Chains A and B, each alone.
Chain A
Amino acid sequence: MVSMNEIEHDSQLLKGVLTMVLLHLIGERESYGYDLVEQVHAIGLAEVPDGSIYPALNRLEREGHITSYLVRSRAGPARKYYRLTESGRRSLADRQRAWNRLTRITSQLFTAELSTFGGEGSR
């Protein structure tokens, strides 16, 4: 039996989703590293360590999906804001299509399994 904890700690699963989530959040509103960490945690992905989010942003920038610019902050050092590029927009659309297809297939499979097990259990 797989516990909820195991699912929450499945770093590979989270990592795959994280890129898409970051592209989506930056597409919604240009933002900086720590703000994105808070947003990711606020949507329910509290298990994702901050240390996974910062390099993911660097990777997206390197791949040309986002660009950055510095904005002075009264709180301390300048904040690096991220903006979605055209390539990022396309990548997000592709990822969302792939994700929707995957969830459609898996949810059909799991719904079928649940009804089978539910049927057996009700006998």
Chain B
Amino acid sequence: MNSEIERALWSLTWKLWRHDVPGSRRREIRRDLRANLREAAADVGEREAVRRLGSLDSLVDEYASIYARQPGELRLLGGLWWALATLLIIILLNGRRITSVSGLKDHGNFDPYSYSFGLPGGVHVLRVFGDVEQSVLLQIQIGRAAYLLLPFIAFLIGLRPWRLLERLSKRTHHDGASARV
């Protein structure tokens, strides 16, 4: 496992996503870079291979200038995917219980714990708790509000609203430059 390379690739993928480079291009870039970095690592070592890439931000800017969608487009489909994926995760996680390994309580001090997240007005969103005495290492309880709230937040993230802000900031910058000319 090339950990330095994989770390750099994950960081790069995340930055490419933020720059709205389409998923198929992100995968292609990652695959090509992985192949080239591994070749380089065989010659100069992983760390040096990653260092020779130069600034990851500049690299992402270069790729974004080739592949990124125009700023300002809200990604409606992206938002829906995020919401759907979050809903699926909630359904899968709700009520899941990890039972403690038998005899675990004899090996340390495991006090019962409980963390709750909610909204003002006593609306229950999420509760995580555990009690080794009752053979529960971790249990997740998701409130009804979470079924609406979390997918909605995910939807907003998936829309990538900062791309809209980027367009506004670019327009302001452009207007400023034109005014100076």
Q: Is the interface of B mostly helix, strand, loop or mixed?
A: helix
> Quick check: A76 and B59 within 8 Å, CB to CB?
no
**Which of the 9-residue segments A52-60, A86-94, A96-104 touches chain B?**
A52-60
With the chains together, A50 CA to B39 CA distance in Å? 12
**Which of the 9-residue segments B27-35, B127-135, B147-155 touches chain A?**
B27-35
> Quick check: B66 and A58 within 8 Å, CB to CB?
yes
B interface, size bucket: 20 to 34
**Which of the 9-residue segments A22-30, A77-85, A109-117 touches chain B?**
A77-85
Chain A residues, CB < 8 A from B167: none
The contact string, 1 if C-beta is below 8 Å from chain A, for chain B 29-71, is 1011111101110100000010011111011001100110000
Which of A37, A51, A58, A76 meets B35, CB within 8 Å?
Answer: A76
Q: Which residue of A lies closest to B38 (CB)?
A: A76
> Quick check: A51 and B54 within 8 Å, CB to CB?
yes
Chain A residues, CB < 8 A from B59: 51, 54-55
CB distance from A114 to the nearest CB of B (A): 34
> Quick check: A75 and B54 within 8 Å, CB to CB?
no
> Quick check: A75 and B62 within 8 Å, CB to CB?
no
With the chains together, A77 CA to B31 CA distance in Å? 8
> Quick check: A75 and B32 within 8 Å, CB to CB?
no
> Quick check: B34 and A51 within 8 Å, CB to CB?
no
Chain A residues, CB < 8 A from B29: 58
A side interface size, CB within 8 A? 22
> Quick check: A50 and B40 within 8 Å, CB to CB?
yes
Which of B34, B35, B42, B54 meets A50, CB within 8 Å?
Answer: B54
Chain A residues, CB < 8 A from B36: 32-34, 37, 50, 54
Q: Which residue of B lies closest to A62 (CB)?
A: B66
CB distance from B70 to the nearest CB of A (A): 16
Quick one: which of B36, B38, B42, B56 has the most chain A CB within 10 A? B36
Quick one: which of A37, A52, A58 has the most chain B CB within 10 A? A58
Residues of B at the A interface (CB closer than 8 Å) are 29, 31-36, 38-40, 42, 49, 52-56, 58-59, 62-63, 66-67
Q: Give 11 pairs: A residue, B residue, CB < 8 Å, sorted on A.
A: A34-B40, A37-B40, A50-B54, A54-B33, A55-B63, A58-B63, A58-B67, A76-B42, A77-B34, A78-B35, A79-B35
